[in-house]
Structure 1
Amino acid sequence: MSTGQINTLLDLWAATLIKHQDSPPFTGHWDLYETIDSTPLGNVTWETFSMSYNGEKPANNVPPQMAAKYNMWFCDPHLLVHHMLSNPDFTMEIKYVPYQDYTNEDKCCYKNFFSEDPETHGSAFVPPIVGSNKTTVSVATGHTEYHPLYLSIGNIFNGVQRTHHNGVVLVGLAIPKSTKEHLEDKDFCNLHCQIFHSSLTKIFDSVKPNMTIPNVVHCPDSHYWHVIYGLGLYIANYPEQLVLLGVVQNWCPKCLNHRRNLKGDGPSLLWCREHTNLLIQELKHANLWYDYGIIQEVMPFINDFPQVDIHELLLPDLLHQIIKGTFKDHLVDWVEDYLYSNRIAAVAPFAARQHSFKQWTGDDSKALMKVYLPAIKGHVPQDVVHTFSAFLDFCYIVRQDMITEDDLIQLQDVLDWFHQYHKIFKTMGVVLGFSFLRQHSLNHYSLMIRLYGALNSLCSSITESKHIKAVKEPWHHSNRYKALGQMLLTNQHLNKIAAAQSDFDACGNHKSLDDYDDGDNNNDNENDDAPQAHLNHLCVNELQNQTAEGDAANVIDGPTVQAHVELAVMPMLGGAHDVSALMHDLKLPNFPTMIQQFLHNQLHITDHEPPKFDPATAPAFMGRVFVFSSAAASFYAPSDLSGTGGMQRKHIQATTSWQGGPARNDCIFVSMNDKVNCGLDGLAIVRVLHFLVVHWFAYITDSWDPDTGMYLITSSSHDDGTPDISIIHIDCIFCAAHLIPLYGANFLPHEIGPHDSYNMFHAFYVNKYADHHAFEVA
């Protein structure tokens, strides 16, 4: 908050306490800030240094970049690592000794960065993971840019890094000094690049001594460990990688392939530090530039540190190489060159998916990946469909939270299929050749996974999402005048608060939200329509307030459970309140019998041989009902955006009007144990009419469609043609499901919208690309 808002909030707080002759804990914003500043926990102060060019300068007309001073602000990474290692939040989320992980079938699997085997000589090996990327905080006021540097450690688990959770911290911040005319100036670019490397050398200088001499550190397990540091991976997008390596544009940062030979379907020799240094010693500038893509003038910072090779430490960039690069900028654009279709606009809504793309972001590309394949089938050659199917499988495999040896075999198979099938674009005349750097980079993923574990927590999306909390929000909360100092202070305050909170939690001074009275559940409720007053009545369930944010997935922290569904706290306002009225709303004359069938099944759910259902003797119910139109499904989805326990929550909707528009009735996976013979491990699919009245789907075949790799289903009906509708128990719900119509070869009328998707089509694909959880399930 701004200081004015803090003061206003404290004044309002004080006004509520006057009648109690009490006062809030802080008298004003300065009192609050002083309290935070006095907190010893998380206390790593910001330091600064300046750099300038010290080489030969022309006698006259010295270029401004040679005379300028470049300021860098940083926190001592040595102290930041100490704070991470002592953070009690990481007690169950950290490893001190490298390990190898195996499945129950005794096959090696790759997950956390620390599942490897370096020589640590009896000490705990702590590899700092560094990431950097320039970001813009304001376009309207002149492209105010900052260059943040982030730090994590390889010992903590993937989930901690993906959710940040104090596992990714800001270690340095600078304002890039460049103008448009400088961007094309080779000398300035080289100078800027070298200043960047020299800054990194200076920042990590405090870590260097303990790369060979153990350091004693207090760790989350309350023990003191001997620690050896070694620079770990570096997370950066491709332009940043070029700066780190001193490599020319359009050359691969991982291998020696020439920039004109990046077809990507053959073996490659990898770069190494010794080979690069030898080339620089032996070859002239022109040979280095044109034959190897090396910029001789740049001395990488990594050369100042022992046993480190920057070529090995640079990771593939999932966000820019795969999602925004190969998928959107290559494959999708190639298909658009071949055809234009309106099919995507008619796909049913699903969490985190939108329908229009004015400016493409990484999230837009991810959203399009979810629905693109069925939308183009029937309008492009079969090999194009196979190309996308293979590529999407590759994307979802490399972004999994844990990857086994079987997954790596499958990864290589789908990559081979991709290279085989995507030649169709050359046959159609859409492209002339396939020497594309981003497609070539796909070859390096398998090796990187074997070396460093799952890559989903080591991607530039981690640092880009950190921009919001570390740079963008502090900038917007500043007064814009000399904002850098205010931003640094905000980060320092937030680090102290986070450290204090972790310490309070470790000491037991913490209540979860569930421990607090929400103001409703424990009060006497005089409303006869409230479900708490009628616990003996049948409930059919929903969340009251629907917002655009409510449609997206929610990140929640553990504990880890496979799946759990909570019905909404409040019922729908208005509508049917008894069985008879609900029967007319649903147009189901046999609805009372359905309730009987449901109650009969629940009464005999544990019977080995349950009696046959007889409406004459089965319990009947004709009393009050409460209709709910949504529920929240929490489930284990570590490959998606999730909390530290790998948990995520999505809302399932069944409402007559979604956000003031048409009705929305989502689909769900229902657990049937071994009662359903299909390829989804006993999961059936239903569409929710009301919670928990559902319309069943049936699998068309027991195997998936060979072109898309997705299962095909159709709405189920009884022998007399009536829809197969019944009531299910909430514990049967596994999670949300997403269906995409089997469109056929015809184009769709423009008036068909997403709300028509489940009503106007008869056959559907079970969308395994809806998210990573669906990919692993389906």
Structure 2
Amino acid sequence: MPPRGTTAPPETLPTPSHSSPRWTIWTTRGQPCDENGYDLPEGTPPPPKEPRAPNNYWPFVDEEEFHFADFLFMHEQMSAGNTDILMSLIVAFQMSRYGNADPPFSTSKHMWDTIDSIPLGDVPWEGFKVSYDGDVPDPAPSWMKREYKVWFRNPLHIMEAQIGNPDFAQEIDIAPKRVLGQNKKRQFTDLMSADWAWEQDQIAAEDPDTHGAMFVPVILGSDKTTVSVSTGQNEYYPLYAALGNTQNHVRHAHRDALTVIGFLAILKTERDQQDTAQFHKFRQQLFHASLTKILSLLKPWMTKPRVTCCSNGYYWRVIYGLGPYIADYPEQCLLASLKEAFEGKSKELWEGYGIIDDILPFTSYFPQGNIHELLSPDLLHQLIKGTFKDHLVTWVVQWMEMQPNGKWLVTEMDQRIAAAPIFSGLHRFPEGHGFKQWTGNDSKALMKVFLPAINGLVPPAMVHAVQAFLEFCYLVCCSQIDEMRESFHEHGIHEDFLLPCQHSVSHYWQLIQMFGAPNGLCSSITESKHIKAVKEPWCHSNCNEPLGQMLLTNQRLDKLAAFQVELESCVQENSEDVDQEEVEGQTSEGDVCLPRRPASGYPRTLVQLSHFLDIPDFEQHIRRFLYDQLHPDSEVCGMDVDIEECPRISPTMHLKVFHLATAVYHVPSDLSGIGGMHREYIRMTQAWHGGPACYDCIFVEREAEEEGFHALGVAQHNNVTYACAFVKWFETHGDSPCPDTGLWRVKPDFMAHGRRMCSVIHIDSILCTAHLIGVYGDKFIPSHLHYHHSLDAFKLFYVNKFADHHAHEIAY
């Protein structure tokens, strides 16, 4: 079906400044309306928002009192007893100093009551009970006699709060879109850029009652989580909802783009009942009936538009629909009414392969609902923990153990993993891979260092298999995926291939076309939300019937967050001259800057500092750097020009030394803020956490006309002076990456007289940190080698493009 409405020619469409040129083709966006649903004339500005009085902070006395409550309750999560002690100390301090006392709050209850009075974000909790109503045998199992309580919040009000959140004003897609890259090939990014949202919008357009409405898909997610290893009730079952129109990086940033809307009941019974057909059937019925009941409040507005105020200030006629469901493998089986040995995407469901009969999925009760189409890809459990950790790592270790020197091979692999140099965000493995309690973050960290560790210990074919999977995994985790990705060519599947996590990969290309880049629908988003929605509120409770306290804590957190957004929006509206570059979370190309205060303990003059750092030719390096700055168009760079042509400087000139620089850049594929911006620190310190020195490696932009690693240089950061960095260079080994690992290799760059090639560079040429791992080869490394010494212990290094997604995107 051709897209309805008109589209602007690509030449007239805007180009984002933070990415390569691309064009967006929209479906007809509909027409904004007034609060009564009548269309506004084209070009009409949004209705004026009722202004908040400059000093109106009700229910708080002033802004400081709000921030005080926000700090204690949200950030510090102070208990009631400690809050009361703090208030009494403030009273005692004020009485002793000023003779009277006026604390922000008299007691913890006073603070909580004030938070409860915030009118924003007020979506109260409701509940209902479910019980078994079938034939009950005598004696009856305990699960048949219990009542199961389900708590929920009105999903309609939650979605309207997300749609109207001013924080998302520039991050919400009003209509489905098709994004074209510079090569005019289609790009799959957010949910609204993919085929499913486009098709749903077309279906709505065919109905005169919903034509022109803003389609709002509701993304759902559920997953059990454990809050304590102690005995007793320690499992909870949160249900989350998110607005499908928000772009993927917004859900990554967790700025209230994912909200807990319910706590489902957990069905338990005696061991002899756990495998009975009746128990499994009721477990399915309880789950699907609960979702049907909770989402029924949205159902009327799936066929009839509801006038809703959006984050940009306009009213729109909104039509809701069930969107993709985020779930791990056991949860997907529960959703699809399957036994866990089978997969929800199988085409042979109705021939007796794993179906639990007589169960209607909850989607059957809603328009256009089909749970078998709405199961989203799960990068964390299917690729990272499933295929990589549970399959590939196990396969490699088992092959090693089968060899005559198997124990030595495994020990060597662990030592190589432990010897990997530190890197921003990289988890340490001091004892290698051999520990029992694996988390998703542990598996992600192992992926970053595993390939160099096994090269030379296992046959090249095994290295190629791991390298191919890592390439696929990093590509599929990108924030945008285009039609030119050769890695997504389809291959045949063996008839006996029934490993669920691995088999799910065969569906990824279709799922990307349907739902966009998978990193916006990964279960890691819901798992990390467990911390704020479940685990921290549980710790905040007194652990005596904690669920009710957890519900109240979540409600108060939402109120505080909504009040904070309201204050920020009022500040922006009242500011006449706002510098966009300084807005928190604003998307930009990136920047490298120095801290405000220099490090102490260093000489201040050039001569003294050169002697202190043992850099005899430090003065020459600075003069060559100044030549480059004063002659940017010179055909000869400062490193090659005659030193006599370089500017002269005073030996007594004053220099400042800094131990770190901060790099901020746009990288939505990695953990980032609401604008897709990521911050990391480039460190140079002679004692890192009381231990050995830490000198980070960096990527330096050198050849602007080249692409990938050809445009980069690798250097090791020594000291930063003023707005410059003193670096030691590496040179590229060979003209292409390693044929086995696919990683570029570098080695220390030496001059003719045997000294390291060094120079002073401007910090503006620094792109970000780089991670180098020694090329171990087939030799065993010393058991005493510490990771702090790795950069000095090897003559050849891999440039680890698997250190993070940003490195993978630039060091290809």
Q: Which range, TM-score by smaller chain?
A: 0.7 to 0.9
Amino acid in the other structure paired with 1:46: W
Amino acid in the other structure paired with 2:144: M
Please name the residue that 1:561 is paired with. Answer: 588
Please name the residue that 1:210 is paired with. Answer: 301
Please name the residue that 1:483 is paired with. Answer: 546
Please name the residue that 1:570 is paired with. Answer: 597
Q: Is residue 453 of structure 1 aligned with residue 516 of structure 2?
A: yes
Please name the residue that 1:315 is paired with. Answer: 376
Please name the residue that 1:162 is paired with. Answer: 252
Please name the residue that 2:714 is paired with. Answer: 685
- Cα distance in 1 for partners of 2:80, 2:134 equals 46
Structure 2 residue runs without a partner (length 5+): 1-77, 205-210, 401-409
> How far 1:39 sits from its partner (Å)?
1.5
Aligned partner of residue 750 in structure 2, secondary structure: coil
Note closer, same or farther for the CA distance 1:727–1:11 as it changes in structure 2 (3 Å cut): farther
> How far 1:222 sits from its partner (Å)?
1.2
Please name the residue that 1:233 is paired with. Answer: 324
- What does 1:67-106 align with in structure 2 at a 5 Å threshold? 67-106=145-184
Please name the residue that 1:748 is paired with. Answer: 781
- What does 1:179-258 align with in structure 2 at a 5 Å threshold? 179=269, 181=271, 182-256=273-347
Conserved? CA contact 1:699–1:713, under 8 Å: yes
Aligned partner of residue 709 in structure 2, secondary structure: coil
Note closer, same or farther for the CA distance 1:678–1:75 as it changes in structure 2 (3 Å cut): closer
> How far 1:246 sits from its partner (Å)?
0.9
Conserved? CA contact 1:110–1:402, under 8 Å: yes
Conserved? CA contact 1:668–1:685, under 8 Å: yes
- Cα distance in 2 for partners of 1:714, 1:671 equals 18
Note closer, same or farther for the CA distance 1:574–1:360 as it changes in structure 2 (3 Å cut): same
> How far 1:602 sits from its partner (Å)?
2.2
Aligned partner of residue 507 in structure 1, secondary structure: helix
Match of 1:595 among 604, 622, 626: 622
Amino acid in the other structure paired with 1:138: S
Per mean C-alpha deviation after superposition, the further-off stretch among 21-30 and 654-663 is 21-30
Conserved? CA contact 2:627–2:646, under 8 Å: no
Note closer, same or farther for the CA distance 1:384–1:602 as it changes in structure 2 (3 Å cut): same
Match of 1:605 among 627, 632, 641: 632
Match of 1:466 among 524, 529, 532: 529
Please name the residue that 1:711 is paired with. Answer: 744
Runs of 4+ in 1 over 4 A off after TM superposition: 12-22, 509-512, 606-613
> How far 1:411 sits from its partner (Å)?
2.8
Aligned partner of residue 316 in structure 2, secondary structure: strand
Conserved? CA contact 2:714–2:770, under 8 Å: yes
- What does 1:289-308 align with in structure 2 at a 5 Å threshold? 291-308=352-369
- Cα distance in 2 for partners of 1:13, 1:561 equals 43
Q: Is residue 363 of structure 1 aligned with residue 441 of structure 2?
A: yes
Conserved? CA contact 2:417–2:453, under 8 Å: yes
Please name the residue that 2:688 is paired with. Answer: 658
- Cα distance in 1 for partners of 2:460, 2:631 equals 50
Per mean C-alpha deviation after superposition, the further-off stretch among 139-148 and 39-48 is 139-148
Per mean C-alpha deviation after superposition, the further-off stretch among 62-71 and 136-145 is 136-145
- What does 1:606-621 align with in structure 2 at a 5 Å threshold? 612-615=641-644, 618-621=647-650
> How far 1:326 sits from its partner (Å)?
0.6
Match of 2:141 among 57, 63, 67: 63
> How far 1:61 sits from its partner (Å)?
0.8
- Cα distance in 1 for partners of 2:650, 2:642 equals 15
> How far 1:511 sits from its partner (Å)?
11
Note closer, same or farther for the CA distance 1:510–1:329 as it changes in structure 2 (3 Å cut): farther
- Cα distance in 2 for partners of 1:188, 1:500 equals 45
Conserved? CA contact 1:741–1:765, under 8 Å: yes
- Cα distance in 2 for partners of 1:77, 1:251 equals 31
Q: Is residue 442 of structure 1 aligned with residue 509 of structure 2?
A: no
> How far 1:161 sits from its partner (Å)?
0.9
Amino acid in the other structure paired with 1:34: D
Please name the residue that 2:488 is paired with. Answer: 411
- Cα distance in 1 for partners of 2:284, 2:605 equals 72
Please name the residue that 1:545 is paired with. Answer: none
> How far 1:256 sits from its partner (Å)?
2.1
Amino acid in the other structure paired with 1:569: R
> How far 1:12 sits from its partner (Å)?
4.4
> How far 1:16 sits from its partner (Å)?
5.8
- Cα distance in 1 for partners of 2:771, 2:233 equals 40
Q: Is residue 42 of structure 1 aligned with residue 132 of structure 2?
A: no
Deviation per CA, 1:202-226: give whole Å up to 9, x if none: 0001111111111111111211111
Note closer, same or farther for the CA distance 1:305–1:689 as it changes in structure 2 (3 Å cut): same
Note closer, same or farther for the CA distance 1:104–1:295 as it changes in structure 2 (3 Å cut): same
Deviation per CA, 1:643-696: give whole Å up to 9, x if none: 011111111121111111111111001112449x78525211100122221100
- Cα distance in 2 for partners of 1:92, 1:22 equals 45
Aligned partner of residue 690 in structure 2, secondary structure: coil
- Cα distance in 2 for partners of 1:617, 1:351 equals 37
- Cα distance in 1 for partners of 2:545, 2:775 equals 57
Please name the residue that 1:629 is paired with. Answer: 659
Identity across matched positions, percent:
43
Amino acid in the other structure paired with 2:441: D
Note closer, same or farther for the CA distance 1:106–1:22 as it changes in structure 2 (3 Å cut): farther
Conserved? CA contact 2:603–2:612, under 8 Å: yes
Amino acid in the other structure paired with 1:99: K
Amino acid in the other structure paired with 2:420: V
Conserved? CA contact 1:592–1:621, under 8 Å: no
Please name the residue that 2:424 is paired with. Answer: 351
> How far 1:711 sits from its partner (Å)?
1.1
Aligned partner of residue 206 in structure 1, secondary structure: coil
Match of 1:649 among 679, 692, 717: 679
When the two structures are superposed, what TM-score results if normalisation uses the length of structure 1?
0.85
Q: Is residue 732 of structure 1 aligned with residue 810 of structure 2?
A: no
Amino acid in the other structure paired with 2:81: G
Conserved? CA contact 1:678–1:699, under 8 Å: no
- Cα distance in 2 for partners of 1:390, 1:614 equals 48
- Cα distance in 2 for partners of 1:511, 1:436 equals 58
- Cα distance in 2 for partners of 1:767, 1:557 equals 31
Conserved? CA contact 1:256–1:292, under 8 Å: no
Deviation per CA, 1:363-406: give whole Å up to 9, x if none: 11110101111111111111111101110011001111111111
* Alignment RMSD (CA, Å): 2.4
Aligned partner of residue 39 in structure 1, secondary structure: coil
Conserved? CA contact 2:670–2:804, under 8 Å: yes
Conserved? CA contact 2:327–2:378, under 8 Å: yes
Per mean C-alpha deviation after superposition, the further-off stretch among 640-649 and 293-302 is 293-302
Note closer, same or farther for the CA distance 1:333–1:68 as it changes in structure 2 (3 Å cut): same
> How far 1:609 sits from its partner (Å)?
7.8
- Cα distance in 1 for partners of 2:542, 2:170 equals 40
- Cα distance in 2 for partners of 1:111, 1:44 equals 31
Amino acid in the other structure paired with 2:765: C
- Cα distance in 2 for partners of 1:559, 1:678 equals 26
> How far 1:47 sits from its partner (Å)?
0.2
Note closer, same or farther for the CA distance 1:122–1:681 as it changes in structure 2 (3 Å cut): farther
Note closer, same or farther for the CA distance 1:31–1:131 as it changes in structure 2 (3 Å cut): same
Please name the residue that 2:85 is paired with. Answer: 8
Please name the residue that 2:24 is paired with. Answer: none
> How far 1:22 sits from its partner (Å)?
6.9
Q: Is residue 53 of structure 1 aligned with residue 80 of structure 2?
A: no
Conserved? CA contact 1:557–1:642, under 8 Å: no
> How far 1:503 sits from its partner (Å)?
1.4
> How far 1:184 sits from its partner (Å)?
3.3
Deviation per CA, 1:557-579: give whole Å up to 9, x if none: 52222221122333333244433
Please name the residue that 1:282 is paired with. Answer: none
